[in-house]
Structure 1
Amino acid sequence: MFILNSNADYRHPLASGDAETLGLAAAEGVERHLRYRENHAETPLISLSSLAAASGVAAIHVKDEGQRLGLGSFKALGGAYAVIRLILEEAEVRLGRPVDMAELHSPVVKEIAETMCFACATDGNHGRSVAQGAGLVGARAAIFIHAGVSDERVAAIARFGAEMIRVAGSYDDSVKEAARVAKERGWTIVSDTSWPGYERIPGLVMQGYTALVCEALRQLPAPPTHVFIQSGVGGIAAAIAGHLAIALGDARPVFTVVDPARAACLFETARAGHPVTVPHAEPTVMAMLECYEPSLVAWRILSRVADAFMTVDEEHAISIMRRLANPLGGDPAIVSGESGGVGLAGLLKALADPEAKAALSLGPDSRIFVVNTEGATDPGRYQEIVGRSPDEVLSRGAA
């Protein structure tokens, strides 16, 4: 399914608060924060020139978040950043003075952090980031996981010392339960989705994601003409679309949001013109995108700066994992998890659809930017789908 943005807010300026959250000064602050993080390094921008030639476009560049901060996902930028910001803000309140990022590992900040507990619901990647952020400064973390989260992903979060709480039902059920328990126990919810009255912290999570856009704009040989970004609740898509609109202005690229067909809450929201909760259906292989209700902040941004919305099916997600592991010509291999390559899958589907291709003005001069949002965060599942382990894919690609 494919639709152009026809909402009343389309092409209107971002709300002032959203523009501040995703603006240039805020993004510079995120990058400064990253300089105090161990394992920080810019993630690579990979050119798929053979795939671009075969697809009839000028360039395809993939920002590979598969090694971000040792967590294997772009979400390493969001939850941990929000936790650290909240700890420093609490330190300022208790100490009655400004507290700089440089004091993050000081005894006085650690003493304050040890009194705090951060909670969130997760499909896997966001929870790892929140747990890691809390662990960096000695705070506690309580992570709510729903029935569909694999044991391997649970173990990956638990290794950061988080308390793991399993919830029956879907991701949205775990969001509600995390909010209920956190309120009852005085914990701080660090969610990557927002609801009425709860926007600032999801805004901080989204703000953390702007770092990958800043890096990409420095790495790209020319600004992209088209961007395809996958969506769960909408946070990563909104962060990228919003920052690009601010950074590039009238030269911003044509931006398409890509949903799983089985959990198309942003697509249906765009079609209805207001936030829509879609019914739970058969689970999707795109587990990190299996969300049935959009973030209100993300929708407010995307309604203004996204140009199109589309869905991809299960076979598209599986096919792109295998294609990235077995690239054309001299293109390098990329390890992409079940949700990681969905933006690229959306591009290839749009190119194969004459109406979508024409509506987006895709052609031989198009320069495409996509994000591999996760590596093999569940290596066992990855090997089942691709037929080789992540290490085998990368070693063959380097051979």
Structure 2
Amino acid sequence: MLLKNPNAAFTAYPTELAKVLNQETAQQSKQWLSSWPLLNPQGTPFWDMTGTAKALGIQSLWIKDESKRSDLGSFKALGAPNALINLILKHFPTLDPKKIFLGEYRDQLAEFAVVSATDGNHGRALAAAAQASGCPCTIVIHAQVSQEREEAIAAYGANMVRITGNYDKSVEEADRIAKQHGWTVVSDTSYEGYTEIPRDVMQGYGVMAAETVAQLDAQQQIPTHIILQGGVGGLAAGVFSYFWEQYGANRPMFIVVEPSQADCLYQSAIQGKPASATGSVDSVMAGLACGETSQIAWEFLQPSVDFFALIDDQDAIEAMKQLAHGEHGDTPIVGGESGVAGLALLNQLAKQDQLQAIGINSDSRVLIFNTEGATAPALFQEFTGLTAQEIVAKQVK
């Protein structure tokens, strides 16, 4: 399903939005995070998928591969850690941000506790950052989060709390725990009265965009279309804002894709305001199984996203297989359930002969983001028939 957004504008990046998210602060975040040994110091690969582009009938298809950002396996390694650095500096302004994740202030931070709800990747990234800095960390997960994902978070020393209900219930529980103990919530979604920390999470995602612009510039290329995953909207806001500031009125066309049963951004576009999903919010794309739109993210998405789109779980599974097996002669890629949403949408539209509905033709240069690798290894192998290690071994060095 596709929905054209009548509010999308091809103008210069608005000054009011630049006060919240901007390239200068994204570059600062990049510098601060660069000292964390857990992150790949070279950034992440930028794959040119020439075979898939030819099969789709387009000029170019590029994939920014966040599976290689760190052992955490996803783009979330940039968001929660960036927010934690900013939060610590707010309370301890004399600390050197580049030394926080080197553990040099563990004694000072031993009582500075943080808590968050998660579907998996955000909580894992926060737990790892808290462990590195010395902050106590509690992570709230909901009924649909697998045991495999829970163990991956707990491996970084977090105190785990599991509740019944869905992701939105876990957000409420994290807020309750924080108030009870006087701890701080580090969430990637915003709500009334809570915007500063989600803003810093989104700004961390701008690091991806900064790297990608540099990689595009090295090839003297500019994409005509950028497709990003939905979720609560923070990723899309953090990345699209950077590209909008970079290219101004000549920005690429922006498309957001979500699971059909977790369509909060799609519904927000229909209603013209932050809205809730209408489906079960239970998707194999666990990182996108979100029921409530982030209010601060919507401020960026409403004036910039040209199309909102929905895909089914099977679309994602098929795209995982395609990337894993290097179909069309392309480099095999470890694309997780949520990571492949952009490719899944392209495949779906191509099958339905609808690529032109979002302005894609033989001259189009499309950029998508593989936002996670095999963050649930057993599930990944079940879907693709391969392990992440087998795929990496086949990649062109």
Structure 2 residue aligned with 1:368: 366
Distance 2:103 2:68 in 1: 30
Distance 2:254 2:344 in 1: 15
Residue identity matched to 1:294: T
- Runs of 4+ residues deviating >3 angstroms: 9-18, 105-109, 351-354, 396-399
Distance 1:282 1:129 in 2: 22
Displacement of 1:106 in angstroms is 8.0
1:13–1:387 Cα change, 3 Å: same
| 2:119 is the counterpart of 1:123 | yes
Displacement of 1:37 in angstroms is 1.0
Residue identity matched to 2:386: R
Structure 1 residue aligned with 2:385: 387
1:256–1:107 Cα change, 3 Å: closer
- Is this contact kept in 2: 1:89–1:99, CA < 8 A? no
Residue identity matched to 1:109: Y
- Is this contact kept in 2: 1:192–1:235, CA < 8 A? yes
Structure 1 residue aligned with 2:293: 294
- Is this contact kept in 2: 1:121–1:171, CA < 8 A? yes
- Is this contact kept in 1: 2:50–2:330, CA < 8 A? yes
Distance 1:271 1:5 in 2: 8
| 2:315 is the counterpart of 1:316 | yes
Aligned length: 392
Residue identity matched to 1:374: E
Distance 1:348 1:85 in 2: 39
1:106–1:158 Cα change, 3 Å: closer
- Is this contact kept in 2: 1:66–1:373, CA < 8 A? yes
Structure 2 residue aligned with 1:326: 325
Structure 2 residue aligned with 1:4: 4
Displacement of 1:328 in angstroms is 2.8
Deviations 1:219-267 (A, max 9, x none): 1221111011111111111111111111111221100000100111111
- Is this contact kept in 2: 1:121–1:127, CA < 8 A? yes
Structure 1 residue aligned with 2:147: 151
- Is this contact kept in 1: 2:335–2:374, CA < 8 A? yes
1:37–1:108 Cα change, 3 Å: closer
| 2:241 is the counterpart of 1:242 | yes
1:106–1:290 Cα change, 3 Å: closer
Structure 1 residue aligned with 2:212: 216
Residue identity matched to 2:283: T
- Is this contact kept in 1: 2:262–2:283, CA < 8 A? yes
Distance 1:385 1:62 in 2: 20
Deviations 1:172-199 (A, max 9, x none): 1000110111011111100000001100
- Is this contact kept in 1: 2:45–2:68, CA < 8 A? no
The aligned runs of 1:259-278 (5 Å cut-off) are 259-278=258-277
Structure 2 residue aligned with 1:57: 58
Distance 1:240 1:178 in 2: 26
Displacement of 1:20 in angstroms is 3.0
Cα-Cα RMSD:
1.9
Distance 1:216 1:289 in 2: 22
Structure 1 residue aligned with 2:110: 114
Distance 2:196 2:223 in 1: 30
Identity %: 39
Distance 2:352 2:88 in 1: 48
Distance 1:106 1:67 in 2: 21
Secondary structure in structure 2 of the residue aligned to 1:174: helix
1:282–1:161 Cα change, 3 Å: closer
Structure 1 residue aligned with 2:21: 22
Residue identity matched to 1:362: I
Secondary structure in structure 1 of the residue aligned to 2:191: coil
Distance 2:11 2:150 in 1: 41
Secondary structure in structure 2 of the residue aligned to 1:37: coil
The aligned runs of 1:169-248 (5 Å cut-off) are 169-220=165-216, 221=219, 222-248=221-247
Distance 1:174 1:203 in 2: 20
1:282–1:131 Cα change, 3 Å: closer
Residue identity matched to 1:54: A
Structure 2 residue aligned with 1:95: none
Displacement of 1:58 in angstroms is 0.8
Distance 2:57 2:24 in 1: 37
Gapped runs of 5+ residues in structure 2? Answer: none
Secondary structure in structure 2 of the residue aligned to 1:304: coil
Give the TM-score taking structure 2 as reference length.
0.94
Distance 2:347 2:102 in 1: 49
Secondary structure in structure 1 of the residue aligned to 2:187: coil
Displacement of 1:330 in angstroms is 3.0
Structure 2 residue aligned with 1:358: 356
Gapped runs of 5+ residues in structure 1? Answer: 93-97
